[in-house]
């Protein structure tokens, strides 16, 4: 809708202008401060220029009125225009709010170590990433989602050791001495029991079997992680193994050496990352020749760039903030444009239950499991609340609120608006498609404002995606739901003279609610 409005104004005014939405729709649906910039050029009062501009739209089919207020130009779109836009959307719901963007994007998120189940910290990045992916895809970006599997390095060896020792403790007479560092939680004991059933107790008697246990355990954890994600309606286009990429380490190392990115000190090879924005240089290769943890990310990002996307987005936990500069430095020395990499941070989540801190999971040790929260409140509520605040701000919520079947529960409030509209059609004996071609008539200001707000979804999506502020989508859905509940409580719909017009307005509200929820990974409810 906004694009059509901009085109209509551009056809009359050959100037660059900013189009805003007034907070009070009684002033108009859109406004522009164009007259103030033109006043400097034409040496005339903004008020005079605003009046002159308004005169150009007297006979417009798109605008009901164009008024000047203290130099601002306010545009109120016509009922006919709203009707036309709504009819197009209703008849082609699948393509409503879609756009066309040429840019290709590789979006990487979650990428949790395959050494344990996902916790709520992982869940926040997972939900944000999946919704960013869905919205980007809807807006026409050539976007792919990717999970980077950290299946090389010490954490996998530690998983094998933890399983081995757990198995010894459970299935042998060996007195186990646990090291300072190991993976703990009931899931390790459960996994060791599963290994015993598959391989027998003998696997826990020989330390040579630890690597076998590590690889087996890693695969089992990946299965569990995939299930955790699937339960929250999250899937990936690609999974990339860190271990498989290490075959390219020698070639990547040569590229770094050729570019002068490395120097030797204390037997180690250091990356000159401080020369390009990092606080200090970083070790890339240890004294014994083994690559450091950073090396895996260097190879991976070189691999990413070689695949030729226009833009790269990583969603990391907030504790990885200090890691951004060193990765971008490596990208720079590899000859790529580090400005193409965008790193978004997801802050941690604090959960309450009945006003008290949510208890940690025994299965996971020190963490609250993503699966426990999904079981407690459901995937829809999890996704809605995790998208309700900007991802780089701390989030705290009480899980009990999302069990309430009233307006205090935001996902219930939005879902109920959609279900309410469906029930209105049931009561009327009509289907939404029966009113698609109805010409709107006798609409009061409440109905017009509801219809206008329903048609704002395309603008909301573009804004939310481009600013990476996905909380704007649930905010919009809550606002639209509130408008509809007010509209419903104020107006009789079924049986009135302009019933079909009010049903059409309702149908448009349902399309926006349904589409917005779908892009959040939530299926709209038709009955509650």
C-alpha–C-alpha distance, residues 221 and 163, integer Å: 12
What is residue 315's three-state secondary structure?
strand
- The pLDDT value recorded for residue 346 is 95
34-43, 445-454, 473-482: lowest mean pLDDT where? 34-43
Read off the pLDDT of each residue in 177-185 and give the average, rounded to a whole number.
Answer: 89
Which tens digit of pLDDT belongs to each residue from 28-64?
899 999 898 888 888 889 898 899 888 888 888 899 9
At residue 481, does pLDDT exceed 70?
yes
Q: How many domains does the chain have?
A: 4
At residue 363, does pLDDT exceed 80?
no
C-alpha–C-alpha distance, residues 131 and 128, integer Å: 5
143-152, 364-373, 496-505: lowest mean pLDDT where? 364-373
C-alpha–C-alpha distance, residues 459 and 481, integer Å: 17
Alpha-carbon distances of 507 from 29, 433, 477, 485, 517, rounded to whole Å: 21, 9, 15, 14, 15
At residue 70, does pLDDT exceed 90?
no
| Percentage of residues in the chain having pLDDT higher than 90 | 79
pLDDT classification of 13: cutoffs 50, 70, 90: confident
Return the number of other C-beta atoms located less than 10 Å from residue 512's C-beta: 25
- The pLDDT value recorded for residue 504 is 98
Whether 485 and 510 map to the same domain: the answer is yes
Q: Please list the residues that pair with 269 across neighbouring strands.
A: 264, 285
- The pLDDT value recorded for residue 43 is 84
C-alpha–C-alpha distance, residues 32 and 70, integer Å: 12
- The pLDDT value recorded for residue 207 is 92
- To the nearest 10 degrees (0 to 180), the angle between helices 154-171 and 210-231 is 100
Which tens digit of pLDDT belongs to each residue from 211-241?
999 999 999 999 999 999 999 999 999 999 9
- The pLDDT value recorded for residue 436 is 97
- The pLDDT value recorded for residue 39 is 84
Whether 421 and 437 map to the same domain: the answer is yes
At residue 271, does pLDDT exceed 70?
yes
- Strand 268-271, strand 238-241: pairing: unpaired
CATH number reported for the structural domain that contains residue 14 in this entry: 3.30.1360.70
CB 161 within 8 A of CB 210: yes
Which tens digit of pLDDT belongs to each residue from 253-263?
999 999 999 99
Read off the pLDDT of each residue in 94-99 and give the average, rounded to a whole number.
Answer: 96
Residue for token pair 């040496």: 43
Tokens of 45: 């009062």
Q: Considering the domain boundaries, does residue 391 fall inside one?
A: no
Read off the pLDDT of each residue in 1-9 and give the average, rounded to a whole number.
Answer: 88
Which tens digit of pLDDT belongs to each residue from 202-215?
999 999 999 999 99
Instruction: State which of 313, 340, 367 marks the end of a domain.
Output: 340
- The pLDDT value recorded for residue 437 is 96
Tokens of 307: 């695949």
Whether 467 and 487 map to the same domain: the answer is yes
Read off the pLDDT of each residue in 146-167 and give the average, rounded to a whole number.
Answer: 94
* Among 362, 358, 341, CA closest to 105: 341
In the chain, the N- to C-terminal Cα span, in Å, equals 32
Tokens of 437: 């071609």
Top-confidence residue, 438 or 25: 438
Whether 217 and 258 map to the same domain: the answer is no
> Across the chain, which distance is largest between two alpha carbons, in Å?
94
- The pLDDT value recorded for residue 185 is 84
pLDDT classification of 365: cutoffs 50, 70, 90: low
Whether 169 and 217 map to the same domain: the answer is yes
Helix (H) or strand (E) holding 395: strand 395-398
CATH number reported for the structural domain that contains residue 422 in this entry: 1.10.730.10
| Percentage of residues in the chain having pLDDT higher than 70 | 99
CB 444 within 8 A of CB 492: no
C-alpha–C-alpha distance, residues 107 and 237, integer Å: 10
- The pLDDT value recorded for residue 492 is 95
Q: Considering the domain boundaries, does residue 277 fall inside one?
A: yes
Read off the pLDDT of each residue in 479-492 and give the average, rounded to a whole number.
Answer: 97
CB 472 within 8 A of CB 460: yes
- The pLDDT value recorded for residue 362 is 65
pTM: 0.93
Top-confidence residue, 12 or 372: 372
Q: What are phi and psi of 501, to 5 degrees?
A: -65, -45
Read off the pLDDT of each residue in 488-512 and give the average, rounded to a whole number.
Answer: 96
Q: Considering the domain boundaries, does residue 269 fall inside one?
A: yes
Which span out of 152-161, 173-182, 395-404, 451-460 was modeled with the highest average pLDDT?
A: 451-460
Whether 416 and 514 map to the same domain: the answer is yes
Q: Considering the domain boundaries, does residue 396 fall inside one?
A: no
Whether 7 and 47 map to the same domain: the answer is yes
Strand order in the sheet with 238-241: 238-241, 142-149, 104-108, 311-317, 341-346
For residue 510, what are the domain limits? Answer: 410-519
Helix (H) or strand (E) holding 345: strand 341-346
Instruction: State which of 315, 340, 365 marks the end of a domain.
Output: 340
Q: Considering the domain boundaries, does residue 247 fall inside one?
A: yes
Q: What are phi and psi of 201, to 5 degrees?
A: -65, -20
Which tens digit of pLDDT belongs to each residue from 272-314?
999 999 999 999 999 999 999 999 999 999 999 999 999 999 9
Q: Please list the residues that pair with 63 across neighbouring strands.
A: 77
Read off the pLDDT of each residue in 57-80 and give the average, rounded to a whole number.
Answer: 90
Read off the pLDDT of each residue in 178-201 and give the average, rounded to a whole number.
Answer: 93
Alpha-carbon distances of 494 from 161, 228, 497, rounded to whole Å: 68, 44, 9
CB 410 within 8 A of CB 471: no
- The pLDDT value recorded for residue 358 is 84
Helix (H) or strand (E) holding 146: strand 142-149
Helix (H) or strand (E) holding 328: helix 324-333
Q: Considering the domain boundaries, does residue 346 fall inside one?
A: no
186-190, 307-311, 425-429: lowest mean pLDDT where? 186-190
pLDDT classification of 364: cutoffs 50, 70, 90: low
Whether 449 and 424 map to the same domain: the answer is yes
C-alpha–C-alpha distance, residues 299 and 224, integer Å: 27
Q: Considering the domain boundaries, does residue 24 fall inside one?
A: yes
What is residue 258's three-state secondary structure?
helix
Instruction: State which of 49, 77, 105 marks the end of a domain.
Output: 77
- The pLDDT value recorded for residue 310 is 98
- The pLDDT value recorded for residue 473 is 98
């Amino acid at each position: 809708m906004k694009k059509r409005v901009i085109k209509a104004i551009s056809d009359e005014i050959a100037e660059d202008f900013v189009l805003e939405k007034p907070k009070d729709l009684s002033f108009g649906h859109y406004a522009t401060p164009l007259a103030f910039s033109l006043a400097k050029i034409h040496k005339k009062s903004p008020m005079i220029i605003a009046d002159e501009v308004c005169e150009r739209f007297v006979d417009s089919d798109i605008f009901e009125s164009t008024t000047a207020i203290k130099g601002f130009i306010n545009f109120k779109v016509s009922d006919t225009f709203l009707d036309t836009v709504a009819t197009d959307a209703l008849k082609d719901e699948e393509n409503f709010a879609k756009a066309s963007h040429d840019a290709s994007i590789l979006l990487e998120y979650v990428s949790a170590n395959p050494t344990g189940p996902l916790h709520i910290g992982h869940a926040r990045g997972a939900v944000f990433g999946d919704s960013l992916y869905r919205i980007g895809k809807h807006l026409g970006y050539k976007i792919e989602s990717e999970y980077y599997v950290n299946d090389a390095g010490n954490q996998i060896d530690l998983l094998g050791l933890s399983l081995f020792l757990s198995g010894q403790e459970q299935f042998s007479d060996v007195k186990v001495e646990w090291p300072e560092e190991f993976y703990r939680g009931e899931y390790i004991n459960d996994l060791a029991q599963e290994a015993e059933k598959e391989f027998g107790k003998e696997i826990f008697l020989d330390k040579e079997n630890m690597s076998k246990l590590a690889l087996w355990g890693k695969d089992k954890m990946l299965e569990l992680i995939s299930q955790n994600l699937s339960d929250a309606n999250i899937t990936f286009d690609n999974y990339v193994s860190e271990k498989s990429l290490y075959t390219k380490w020698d070639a990547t190392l040569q590229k770094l050496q050729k570019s002068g990115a490395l120097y030797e000190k204390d037997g180690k090879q250091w990356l000159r990352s401080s020369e390009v924005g990092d606080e200090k240089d970083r070790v890339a290769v240890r004294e014994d020749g083994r690559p450091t943890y950073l090396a895996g990310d260097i190879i991976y990002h070189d691999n990413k760039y070689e695949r030729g996307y226009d833009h790269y987005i990583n969603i990391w936990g907030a504790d990885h903030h200090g890691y951004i500069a060193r990765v971008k430095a490596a990208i720079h020395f590899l000859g790529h444009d580090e400005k193409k990499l965008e790193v978004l941070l997801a802050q941690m989540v604090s959960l309450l239950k009945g006003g008290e801190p949510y208890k940690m999971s025994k299965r996971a040790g020190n963490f609250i499991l993503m699966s426990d929260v999904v079981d407690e409140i459901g995937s829809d509520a999890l996704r809605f609340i995790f998208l309700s605040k900007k991802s780089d701000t701390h989030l705290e919520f009480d899980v009990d609120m999302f069990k309430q079947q009233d307006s205090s529960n935001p996902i219930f409030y939005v879902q109920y608006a959609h279900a309410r509209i469906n029930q209105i059609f049931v009561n009327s004996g009509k289907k939404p498609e029966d009113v698609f071609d109805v010409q709107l008539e006798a609409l009061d200001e409440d109905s017009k404002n509801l219809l206008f707000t329903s048609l704002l979804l395309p603008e909301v999506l573009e804004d939310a995606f481009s600013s990476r502020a996905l909380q704007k989508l649930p905010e919009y859905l809550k606002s639209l739901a509130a408008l509809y509940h007010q509209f419903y409580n104020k107006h009789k719909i079924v049986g009135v003279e302009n019933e079909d017009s009010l049903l059409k307005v309702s149908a448009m509200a349902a399309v926006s609610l349904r589409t917005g929820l779908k892009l959040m990974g939530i299926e709209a409810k038709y009955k509650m």
